[in-house]
Chain A
Protein backbone atom coordinates (compact mmCIF):
# COMPACT_ATOMS: atom_id res chain seq x y z
CA UNK A 1 0.00 0.00 0.00
CA UNK A 2 1.37 3.36 -1.08
CA UNK A 3 -0.11 6.66 0.06
CA UNK A 4 1.59 9.90 -0.88
CA UNK A 5 0.50 13.52 -0.94
CA UNK A 6 1.76 15.54 -3.90
CA UNK A 7 1.34 19.29 -4.52
CA UNK A 8 -1.28 19.82 -7.22
CA UNK A 9 0.73 21.47 -9.96
CA UNK A 10 1.50 20.29 -13.48
CA UNK A 11 5.20 19.84 -12.78
CA UNK A 12 4.23 17.08 -10.32
CA UNK A 13 2.60 14.96 -13.03
CA UNK A 14 5.82 13.08 -13.70
CA UNK A 15 6.08 12.19 -9.98
CA UNK A 16 2.54 10.79 -10.04
CA UNK A 17 3.32 8.76 -13.17
CA UNK A 18 6.48 7.43 -11.53
CA UNK A 19 4.55 6.23 -8.46
CA UNK A 20 2.02 4.42 -10.65
CA UNK A 21 4.70 2.92 -12.86
CA UNK A 22 6.66 1.59 -9.89
CA UNK A 23 3.53 -0.01 -8.43
CA UNK A 24 2.72 -1.64 -11.77
CA UNK A 25 6.21 -3.09 -11.99
CA UNK A 26 5.98 -4.36 -8.43
CA UNK A 27 2.81 -6.34 -9.15
CA UNK A 28 4.00 -7.51 -12.57
CA UNK A 29 1.39 -5.71 -14.65
CA UNK A 30 2.18 -5.98 -18.37
CA UNK A 31 3.81 -3.15 -20.29
CA UNK A 32 0.71 -2.18 -22.29
CA UNK A 33 -1.57 -2.21 -19.24
CA UNK A 34 1.00 -0.23 -17.26
CA UNK A 35 1.04 2.46 -19.93
CA UNK A 36 -2.77 2.57 -20.10
CA UNK A 37 -3.13 2.97 -16.35
CA UNK A 38 -0.37 5.57 -16.20
CA UNK A 39 -1.98 7.58 -19.01
CA UNK A 40 -5.41 7.40 -17.39
CA UNK A 41 -4.09 8.62 -14.03
CA UNK A 42 -2.08 11.37 -15.73
CA UNK A 43 -5.13 12.63 -17.62
CA UNK A 44 -7.39 12.80 -14.57
CA UNK A 45 -4.62 14.34 -12.45
CA UNK A 46 -4.16 16.99 -15.16
CA UNK A 47 -7.88 17.76 -15.00
CA UNK A 48 -7.82 17.98 -11.21
CA UNK A 49 -4.87 20.38 -11.24
CA UNK A 50 -6.14 22.54 -14.10
CA UNK A 51 -9.92 22.60 -13.63
CA UNK A 52 -10.32 21.47 -10.03
CA UNK A 53 -7.74 23.77 -8.47
CA UNK A 54 -6.06 26.37 -10.74
CA UNK A 55 -9.12 27.65 -12.62
CA UNK A 56 -10.95 28.01 -9.30
CA UNK A 57 -8.09 29.99 -7.77
CA UNK A 58 -7.48 27.12 -5.36
CA UNK A 59 -4.33 25.36 -4.27
CA UNK A 60 -4.02 21.96 -2.67
CA UNK A 61 -2.66 18.48 -2.96
CA UNK A 62 -3.43 15.27 -4.75
CA UNK A 63 -3.19 12.22 -2.53
CA UNK A 64 -2.16 9.16 -4.51
CA UNK A 65 -3.07 5.81 -2.95
CA UNK A 66 -2.15 2.52 -4.55
CA UNK A 67 -3.21 -0.87 -3.27
CA UNK A 68 -3.20 -4.39 -4.52
CA UNK A 69 -6.05 -6.81 -3.94
CA UNK A 70 -6.16 -10.46 -4.96
CA UNK A 71 -7.48 -9.53 -8.37
CA UNK A 72 -6.80 -5.83 -8.98
CA UNK A 73 -4.35 -2.99 -8.79
CA UNK A 74 -6.28 0.05 -7.54
CA UNK A 75 -5.06 3.64 -7.82
CA UNK A 76 -7.04 6.38 -6.08
CA UNK A 77 -6.52 10.11 -6.54
CA UNK A 78 -8.01 12.27 -3.79
CA UNK A 79 -8.33 16.04 -4.06
CA UNK A 80 -10.19 18.89 -2.39
CA UNK A 81 -10.79 20.86 -5.59
CA UNK A 82 -14.18 21.56 -7.09
CA UNK A 83 -16.50 18.52 -7.27
CA UNK A 84 -16.33 16.86 -10.67
CA UNK A 85 -17.32 13.41 -11.84
CA UNK A 86 -15.41 12.71 -15.10
CA UNK A 87 -18.08 10.21 -16.12
CA UNK A 88 -20.56 13.04 -16.60
CA UNK A 89 -18.60 14.48 -19.51
CA UNK A 90 -19.99 13.46 -22.89
CA UNK A 91 -17.67 11.15 -24.77
CA UNK A 92 -16.67 11.96 -28.36
CA UNK A 93 -18.76 10.07 -30.89
CA UNK A 94 -17.35 8.02 -33.77
CA UNK A 95 -18.27 10.97 -35.98
CA UNK A 96 -16.25 13.33 -33.76
CA UNK A 97 -13.22 11.04 -33.92
CA UNK A 98 -13.48 10.91 -37.74
CA UNK A 99 -13.36 14.68 -38.14
CA UNK A 100 -10.32 16.27 -39.79
CA UNK A 101 -8.00 17.69 -37.14
CA UNK A 102 -8.57 21.25 -38.35
CA UNK A 103 -12.29 20.87 -37.61
CA UNK A 104 -11.84 19.41 -34.15
CA UNK A 105 -12.39 21.15 -30.89
CA UNK A 106 -9.25 21.43 -28.80
CA UNK A 107 -10.02 19.48 -25.65
CA UNK A 108 -12.26 16.68 -24.50
CA UNK A 109 -9.91 13.84 -25.33
CA UNK A 110 -8.23 13.49 -21.96
CA UNK A 111 -11.18 12.06 -20.08
CA UNK A 112 -12.06 9.92 -23.09
CA UNK A 113 -8.57 8.36 -23.03
CA UNK A 114 -8.66 7.95 -19.25
CA UNK A 115 -11.99 6.15 -19.12
CA UNK A 116 -11.17 3.97 -22.13
CA UNK A 117 -7.78 2.95 -20.80
CA UNK A 118 -8.63 1.29 -17.48
CA UNK A 119 -10.57 -1.87 -16.70
CA UNK A 120 -12.83 -0.05 -14.25
CA UNK A 121 -13.21 3.58 -13.24
CA UNK A 122 -15.24 4.99 -10.37
CA UNK A 123 -15.79 8.40 -8.84
CA UNK A 124 -17.03 9.25 -5.36
CA UNK A 125 -17.21 12.45 -3.37
CA UNK A 126 -17.56 12.49 0.37
CA UNK A 127 -16.31 14.72 3.19
CA UNK A 128 -15.67 17.39 0.49
CA UNK A 129 -13.04 15.19 -1.14
CA UNK A 130 -13.09 13.88 -4.72
CA UNK A 131 -12.06 10.25 -5.11
CA UNK A 132 -11.12 9.12 -8.63
CA UNK A 133 -10.59 5.37 -8.54
CA UNK A 134 -8.83 3.38 -11.29
CA UNK A 135 -8.71 -0.40 -11.36
CA UNK A 136 -6.68 -2.75 -13.53
CA UNK A 137 -7.32 -6.49 -13.52
CA UNK A 138 -4.36 -8.61 -12.49
CA UNK A 139 -5.97 -11.95 -13.41
Chain B
Protein backbone atom coordinates (compact mmCIF):
# COMPACT_ATOMS: atom_id res chain seq x y z
CA UNK B 1 0.00 0.00 0.00
CA UNK B 2 1.35 3.42 -0.90
CA UNK B 3 2.42 5.80 1.83
CA UNK B 4 1.65 9.47 2.24
CA UNK B 5 2.44 12.12 4.85
CA UNK B 6 0.33 15.27 4.52
CA UNK B 7 1.20 18.36 6.55
CA UNK B 8 -1.33 20.98 7.54
CA UNK B 9 -0.58 23.98 9.76
CA UNK B 10 -3.46 25.00 12.02
CA UNK B 11 -2.52 28.08 14.04
CA UNK B 12 0.61 26.99 15.92
CA UNK B 13 -0.01 23.28 15.43
CA UNK B 14 1.64 21.12 12.82
CA UNK B 15 -0.74 18.34 11.87
CA UNK B 16 0.56 15.44 9.80
CA UNK B 17 -1.69 12.67 8.55
CA UNK B 18 0.13 9.40 7.89
CA UNK B 19 -1.51 6.89 5.59
CA UNK B 20 -0.49 3.44 4.33
CA UNK B 21 2.69 1.51 5.13
CA UNK B 22 5.64 3.37 6.65
CA UNK B 23 8.85 1.45 5.98
CA UNK B 24 12.47 2.37 5.31
CA UNK B 25 11.73 2.95 1.62
CA UNK B 26 9.31 5.82 2.31
CA UNK B 27 10.46 7.16 5.69
CA UNK B 28 12.18 10.07 3.94
CA UNK B 29 8.74 11.42 2.94
CA UNK B 30 7.78 11.51 6.61
CA UNK B 31 11.10 13.12 7.54
CA UNK B 32 10.58 15.82 4.93
CA UNK B 33 7.11 16.56 6.31
CA UNK B 34 8.66 16.91 9.77
CA UNK B 35 11.34 19.22 8.37
CA UNK B 36 8.72 21.40 6.68
CA UNK B 37 6.73 21.49 9.90
CA UNK B 38 9.81 22.39 11.97
CA UNK B 39 10.48 25.41 9.76
CA UNK B 40 7.08 26.81 10.84
CA UNK B 41 8.23 26.57 14.50
CA UNK B 42 5.04 24.89 15.77
CA UNK B 43 4.19 24.64 19.45
CA UNK B 44 2.65 21.23 18.99
CA UNK B 45 3.10 18.32 16.57
CA UNK B 46 0.02 16.20 16.00
CA UNK B 47 0.38 12.94 14.07
CA UNK B 48 -2.79 11.28 12.83
CA UNK B 49 -2.20 7.54 12.43
CA UNK B 50 -5.76 6.24 12.01
CA UNK B 51 -5.01 4.85 8.55
CA UNK B 52 -1.36 3.95 9.09
CA UNK B 53 -1.45 0.17 8.71
CA UNK B 54 2.26 -0.58 9.18
CA UNK B 55 5.18 1.18 10.84
CA UNK B 56 8.75 -0.12 10.89
CA UNK B 57 11.55 1.24 13.05
CA UNK B 58 12.32 3.70 10.24
CA UNK B 59 9.16 5.52 11.35
CA UNK B 60 10.32 5.52 14.96
CA UNK B 61 13.61 7.05 13.86
CA UNK B 62 11.71 9.92 12.26
CA UNK B 63 9.86 10.48 15.55
CA UNK B 64 13.25 10.74 17.29
CA UNK B 65 14.36 13.15 14.57
CA UNK B 66 11.19 15.22 15.11
CA UNK B 67 11.87 15.61 18.83
CA UNK B 68 15.52 16.44 18.25
CA UNK B 69 14.72 18.88 15.43
CA UNK B 70 11.83 20.68 17.16
CA UNK B 71 13.06 20.55 20.75
CA UNK B 72 11.68 19.02 23.90
CA UNK B 73 9.25 21.90 24.46
CA UNK B 74 7.20 20.88 21.40
CA UNK B 75 4.68 18.28 22.55
CA UNK B 76 4.08 15.36 20.19
CA UNK B 77 0.61 13.83 19.98
CA UNK B 78 -0.11 10.48 18.30
CA UNK B 79 -3.77 10.14 17.39
CA UNK B 80 -5.70 7.00 16.47
CA UNK B 81 -2.79 4.56 16.19
CA UNK B 82 -4.05 1.09 15.35
CA UNK B 83 -3.30 -1.89 17.62
CA UNK B 84 -0.08 -3.19 16.03
CA UNK B 85 1.36 0.29 15.44
CA UNK B 86 0.50 1.23 19.01
CA UNK B 87 2.17 -1.97 20.19
CA UNK B 88 5.38 -1.01 18.37
CA UNK B 89 5.33 2.41 20.07
CA UNK B 90 4.86 0.74 23.44
CA UNK B 91 7.55 -1.90 22.93
CA UNK B 92 10.01 0.83 22.05
CA UNK B 93 9.10 2.96 25.05
CA UNK B 94 7.84 5.78 22.84
CA UNK B 95 4.46 5.82 24.59
CA UNK B 96 6.19 7.51 27.51
CA UNK B 97 7.53 10.30 25.33
CA UNK B 98 4.46 11.24 23.30
CA UNK B 99 0.80 11.84 24.12
CA UNK B 100 -1.25 8.96 22.75
CA UNK B 101 -4.94 9.62 22.18
CA UNK B 102 -7.75 7.97 20.28
CA UNK B 103 -9.22 11.24 19.09
CA UNK B 104 -8.16 14.85 18.71
CA UNK B 105 -8.70 17.39 20.16
Residues of A within 8 A of B (CB): 10-11, 13-14, 17, 32, 35-36, 38-39, 42-43, 46, 49-50, 96-102, 104, 106-107, 109-110, 112-113, 116
Contact = CB atoms under 8 A, between A and B. Distances in A.
Interface string B51-68: 000101110110111111
B56 to A, nearest CB: 5
Interface string B72-91: 10001000000110011001
Nearest to B28: A10
Contacts of A38: 54
A44 to B, nearest CB: 11
Nearest to A98: B93
Interface of B: 1, 21, 23-25, 54, 56-58, 60-61, 63-68, 71-72, 76, 83-84, 87-88, 91-94, 96-98
28 contacts: A13-B25, A17-B23, A32-B83, A32-B84, A39-B88, A42-B54, A43-B56, A43-B57, A46-B56, A50-B24, A96-B93, A97-B93, A98-B93, A99-B93, A100-B97, A101-B64, A101-B76, A102-B64, A102-B71, A102-B72, A104-B64, A106-B64, A106-B65, A109-B57, A109-B60, A109-B92, A110-B57, A112-B92
